[in-house]
Amino acid sequence: MRLIARFALEENEGLEVLTVYADRTERMRLEADERIDSIAGRHPAAIWFERKLHDDFGIAVDGAFDSRPLLHHERWPKLHPMRKHFDARTVLSSHPFKPYPYETVAGDGVFEVSVGPIHAGIIEPGHFHFSQAGEDMLHQEVRHFYKYRGIEKMLEGKTLEQAWPIVSRISGNASMAYQHALRDIAFAAANKPRSDRDRGYGALLLELERIIHHLTDLGFIPNDAGFGAALAYASMRAEEARRLMRRLTGHRFGFDALRDTVPGADAEAVRTFVRTLREQMRWFEAWITDIPSLLDRFDTTGVLTRFKALKYNTVGVVARASGVALDRRDDDFHRARGFETVTDDRGDVAARFTVRLRELFVSLEMMEKLLDGAQESLPDTSDASGEFEAYSEGALGELYLFVQLNNGRITRFFARDPSFMNWQALHLMMPGNIIADFPLINKSCDLSYAGNDL
């Protein structure tokens, strides 16, 4: 039983907690001050959801192995911003500093290393806390949520049309994935099925987005092992893909591309891109695999076993590189257009690199078979009411969206980015490696800060 998400919503009669599994959703209505039981014993990745439940709504969780604040940082007051009566002005005053107790390992010769939240490179804020014995990593804790942009709260009261530019920009590396899921929700709210032609256009752009980010990773992973030439080559290819995205959508990131009517993609530009990139990446593959010292650096580094990948409900390349055949594109529509699930059972940096490279070639084949797509206008959802959910398989993995509408207005928006799951498994890959391996392991997972920190 795979955990997808655990979150709450507030209605006139009180709070309700939804626990979403792959095969069902469990709902629990809460009376005043009622507590819930933790499920983190069975699903360790539930702990971030449960800490978020408390920070967002004030819901107490019994039996949780970690009850520290998740979203609320040192000067956040005792307020719960997802409650309907929340007033943002109450946050602006000064509040006492409350130190955050990091998880550490004690012992002779053990010391701590802090990395971030401000980094030397162009990167969003994130803190990594290591317990070290010399160069050897004993334990790592990830702490994020330094921005807390308030997107879930921001979208309350908006129509789907008004929400689109915000949802489209939640995460630059998953704009198409978020739009793809939101488009599914719009059609479901209008009780109108999506045609294959409409799905095909969005699927083509989603594969292009996947290619862009796989190219970026295929350059950065060797770069973090000291082979910068790969980054230079892959960056050129990624830039060419970004320019195609701009040509097709008007924007390098494709923001708002799945909102309006589109007669179809520029078939000749797509075919030329596919043909050229396929040849270039065959050369790249031969080049990289002919450098034994580089591949040796990837092998057995940052191993995530299949057992732990399943236990932590990982998704995307992180899961598939550990032998978990999980991909939301595994359906009749995508298989008929060239999709095949790519897996590797080694679970290390080498596996994550290999899965990305093989998936890139699959995406190129799919793009050629998705050229008959044309995007329909969005249906009218001005009178829609109810609860709707949708999934999409972005470059980083499975994305889940939940939207509650009342007469066309959003009363609850919840997004579970793939990185919300995979960040929680990152520490499992550290023991047995030295701290210099951390950037390489981290980059091989390609985890999002923005998508994680709503």
Residues 6+ apart with CB under 8 A from 279: none
Q: Are 409 and 396 in contact (CB under 8 A)?
A: no
Strands 3-11, 14-21: pairing kind: antiparallel
State how many domains the chain has: 2
Nearest CA-CA partner of 98 in 82, 80, 77: 77
Residues 164, 29: one domain?
A: no
Residues 85, 190: one domain?
A: no
Residues 6+ apart with CB under 8 A from 282: none
Residues 239, 325: one domain?
A: yes
Residues 311, 230: one domain?
A: yes
Nearest CA-CA partner of 445 in 433, 428, 432: 428
Please report, as a single letter, which amino acid is at residue 274: V
The C-alpha atoms of residue 127 and residue 390 are separated, in whole angstroms, by: 31
Digitized pLDDT (tens) for each residue of the chain, 454 residues in all: 899 999 999 988 789 999 999 999 999 999 878 899 999 999 999 999 999 999 999 999 999 999 999 999 988 888 899 998 888 777 777 788 889 999 999 899 999 999 989 887 778 899 999 999 999 999 999 999 998 899 999 999 999 999 999 999 999 999 999 999 999 999 999 999 999 999 999 999 999 999 999 999 999 999 999 999 999 999 999 999 999 999 999 999 999 999 999 999 999 999 999 999 999 999 999 999 999 999 999 999 999 999 999 999 999 999 999 999 999 999 999 999 999 999 999 999 999 999 999 999 999 999 999 999 999 999 999 999 999 999 999 999 999 999 999 999 999 999 999 999 999 999 999 999 999 999 999 999 999 999 999 9
The C-alpha atoms of residue 41 and residue 334 are separated, in whole angstroms, by: 36
The C-alpha atoms of residue 217 and residue 52 are separated, in whole angstroms, by: 30
Residues 91, 201: one domain?
A: no
Q: Which residue has the tokens 């009669």?
A: 13
Please report, as a single letter, which amino acid is at residue 279: E
The C-alpha atoms of residue 73 and residue 144 are separated, in whole angstroms, by: 10
Q: Pick from 59, 79, 101: which residue ends a domain?
A: 101
Q: Are 451 and 72 in contact (CB under 8 A)?
A: no
Q: Which domain holds residue 234?
A: 152-445
Q: Quick one: pLDDT at residue 90?
A: 76
Q: Are 222 and 231 in contact (CB under 8 A)?
A: yes
Domain-located, residue 130: no
Residues 49, 193: one domain?
A: no
The C-alpha atoms of residue 366 and residue 206 are separated, in whole angstroms, by: 10
Residues 253, 178: one domain?
A: yes
Token pair belonging to 363 = 């995406």
Domain-located, residue 90: yes
Q: Are 324 and 451 in contact (CB under 8 A)?
A: no
Please state, as a whole number, how many other Cβ atoms lie within 10 Å of the Cβ of residue 351: 25
CATH number of the domain where residue 427 is located: 1.10.645.10
Q: Pick from 75, 101, 127: which residue ends a domain?
A: 101
Domain-located, residue 117: no
Token pair belonging to 416 = 């579970």
Residues 399, 311: one domain?
A: yes
Cα dist from 46 to 6, 86, 89, 110, 397, whole Å: 7, 25, 31, 29, 18
Q: What is the 3-state secondary structure (H, E, C) of the chain?
A: CCEEEEEEEEECCEEEEEEEECCCEEEEEECCCCCEECCCCCCCCHHHHHHHHHHHHCCCEECCCCCCCCCCCCCCCCCCCCCCCCCHHHHCCCCCCCCCCCCCCCCCCEEEEEECCCCCCCCCCCEEEEEEECCEEEEEEEECCCCCCCHHHHCCCCCHHHHHHHHHCCCHHHHHHHHHHHHHHHHHHCCCCCCHHHHHHHHHHHHHHHHHHHHHHHHHHHHCCCCHHHHHHHHHHHHHHHHHHHHHHCCCCCCCCCCCCECCCCHHHHHHHHHHHHHHHHHHHHHHCCCHHHHHHHCCCCCCCHHHHHHCCCCHHHHHCCCCCCCCCCCHHHHCCCCCCCCCCCCCHHHHHHHHHHHHHHHHHHHHHCCCCCECCCCCCCCCCEEEEEEEEECCEEEEEEEEEECCEEEEEEEECHHHHHHHHHHHHCCCCEHHHHHHHHHHHCCCCCCCCC
Q: Are 427 and 144 in contact (CB under 8 A)?
A: no
Residues 186, 315: one domain?
A: yes
Helix 267-288 to helix 228-249 angle (10° resolution) is 170
Domain-located, residue 138: no
Strand partners, 401: 390, 415
Q: Are 44 and 36 in contact (CB under 8 A)?
A: no
Domain-located, residue 42: yes
Domain-located, residue 120: no
Residues 69, 176: one domain?
A: no
Q: Pick from 58, 73, 101: which residue ends a domain?
A: 101
Residues 250, 396: one domain?
A: yes
Residues 6+ apart with CB under 8 A from 272: none
Domain-located, residue 140: no
The C-alpha atoms of residue 442 and residue 386 are separated, in whole angstroms, by: 39
The C-alpha atoms of residue 195 and residue 428 are separated, in whole angstroms, by: 42
Residues 163, 73: one domain?
A: no
Domain-located, residue 435: yes
